[in-house]
Amino acid sequence: MNNSRFLKRLKKDMPEWQKSGWVSENNARAILDHVAGQESSTNTLAYALAILGVLLLGSGVITYFAANWSEMSKIDKLAILLGSLYAAYGSAAYLLDTHHSPKIGQALILLGVILFGANIMLIAQIYHISEHYPNGVLFWAIGGILTAYLLQSQPALIAAMLLGLLWTGMESFGFNEIHFPFLIMWLVFLPAIYHWHWHGALHVALITLITWTVFTWFSIDYYWSKEGYLYLVQLYFVCYLTLFVLGMLMHTSKLLNEFADPVQNYSMLGTLFSLYVLTFPELQSGMTSYYHENYRLPAEPVWIVSTLVALVLLAGLALWHRQRVYVKDRPRYLLYAQILVSATIALIVVNLFVTGVHGSWIALAFNILYFSGMVWLVFAGMYLGNRFLVNIAFVYFALGLLTRYFDTFWTLLNRSFFFMAGGVILIVGGYLLEQQRRKITAMIKAGGGKGEAP
């Protein structure tokens, strides 16, 4: 039955059921809320249109004020701005409270969040306020978070996440510092995602986290601190790997299992990209550019401490996972994982204390870890029934091979031979890899994972 018709029918029958004592008032409200919250394709379309409408309306309000600013007195501007905010939230409250159109109500909450930001920006404009401009976006994001929690609004939380990202981007690029306060805001998103099972918001949260790490990369002054880049990427690698192990741990929990796949997928993207960067001998030696003629130095205390803390966390979570998966059930891919994690910890610790003189050996070790990691990831993806992991393993495997081919043969071979050989390798290698990938993902699709990997 169409969801809205079903809801209509329920609304009609519910008072009778309550009268008969079959359903309490609270339960009736909970059932109606639940059904109203379920998505049918029609609802999704209406929801998407409502959200688009809200975005258009929000940007229309902002540009209208920007164009007609000079013709209004301050008090008129303030009255109109606050009035539109009240109207948006008021209409949302009416629609949500009467269960009339909860989806449109949610869209209007989003409009309220947008208008709150418009109010901040336009009051700043009225009074020519320019103190530390990212703060305006910070307060806007805080308004979004409060709205999300108080009104149980996933769109408001997603808006707050994007605003948080904008805030940290402004801080990172405008003030050239690694902006850690974003992580505090990011942690605030998590209880809502967990409590209300907001999977869409979880995806956005993980994307904002990855984007934040990219921002921090650009916040380091390259010409003054070439070591900073290496140790930062190494720290990313350990942190994303830790997050991946946390995802594995979440798979063993009834409460968190539903969130495990996105956590694993996004964290593995971050892990593999960081590991890929670490395989470059130039980065490991410190001879990355014309400006850097000397080998890189061992890590400074700040990198040693932060990396060791992350490694301890990684080892702790890995051991916890080991404890939760009983010996008789433990598949072989987990035994290989223990070897890989141990090798990773050893390599990272050594790399903190050596200079760039040993850069090529360290890079070689990271390359071995990289390609072994890819093979392991295919096994893990097969066992977990996660095609995404298998697919990215193949993509990174191909990327790694291609990069090493360029690294190794670019200067050794005649250019025309280099390109011809490269072309042949690409065609044949690509065909073989794609065949394997299709075979494995088809196996996962047919078997649903769990136990098919060695």
What secondary structure letter does DSSP report for 71? G
Max Cα–Cα distance, the chain, nearest Å: 88
What secondary structure letter does DSSP report for 327? G
Query: Contact positions toward other proteins, by CB under 8 A?
Result: 62, 66-67, 69-70, 73-75, 78, 81-82, 85-86, 89-90, 92-93, 96-97, 112, 116, 119-121, 123-132, 139, 143, 146-147, 150-151
**For residue 297, what is the enclosing H or E element?**
none
What secondary structure letter does DSSP report for 299? P
Of the pair 149, 371, the CB lying nearest other proteins is at 149
Residues 6+ apart with CB under 8 A from 15: none
Of the pair 59, 294, the CB lying nearest other proteins is at 59
Tell me the closest approach of the beta carbon of residue 95 to other proteins, in angstroms: 10
Using DSSP's 3-state secondary structure scheme, residue 433 falls into helix
Among 141, 152, 153, 79, CA closest to 116: 141
Tell me the closest approach of the beta carbon of residue 142 to other proteins, in angstroms: 9
Of the pair 72, 325, the CB lying nearest other proteins is at 72
Of the pair 69, 180, the CB lying nearest other proteins is at 69
Among 327, 309, 305, 329, CA closest to 317: 309
Among 236, 247, 253, 240, CA closest to 202: 247
Tell me the closest approach of the beta carbon of residue 109 to other proteins, in angstroms: 9
Tell me the closest approach of the beta carbon of residue 63 to other proteins, in angstroms: 9
Among 121, 127, 126, CA closest to 143: 121
Of the pair 143, 331, the CB lying nearest other proteins is at 143
Tell me the closest approach of the beta carbon of residue 73 to other proteins, in angstroms: 5
Of the pair 157, 275, the CB lying nearest other proteins is at 157
**For residue 312, what is the enclosing H or E element?**
helix 301-324
Tell me the closest approach of the beta carbon of residue 165 to other proteins, in angstroms: 16
